[in-house]
Amino acid sequence: MKKIIFTENAPKAIGPYSQAVKAGNTLYISGQIPINPTTGKVVEGGIKEQTEQVMQNISAILNESGFSFSDVVKSTCLLSTMENFALMNEVYGKYYSKNPPARAAFAVKELPLGVLIEIESIAVKF
């Protein structure tokens, strides 16, 4: 059975998609961008501040769903430029200090609202 996940502690979807969908024991989190859910605005600062906000948004969705970062098995990181890769890793790595998930990271031409990063994740409860 498919269950739509929504929390006020993460940004509302800005298109026809859900923050996350739970199917069985798997949680699919839509790409999160660095929007502060309280203000509805992109956070100020560079890649470190934006990555931190994205990870906080993912955390809020995981928590709403009864999952945690230890349940994440795959992440995809989309960056506006690979020049931000090392600094993004510094922040990202704080959330996955043990047994990090599989991951892909790509530089893309453009991201929504001109942000520097977007991350989507998949979590599984075993």
- So what's the pLDDT on residue 8? 97
Q: Are 108 and 115 in contact (CB under 8 A)?
A: no
What share of the chain in percent tops pLDDT 70?
100
Where are the chain's structural domains? 2-124
- So what's the pLDDT on residue 34? 98
- CA–CA dist 41, 86 (Å, integer): 25
CATH code for the domain defined by 2-124: 3.30.1330.40
**Angle subtended at Cα 105 by Cα 10 and Cα 116, rounded to the nearest 5 degrees:** 55
Of the pLDDT bands very low, low, confident and very high (cuts 50, 70, 90), residue 12 is very high
Select from 75, 51, 78 the least CA-distant residue to 124.
75
Average pLDDT over residues 101-117: 97
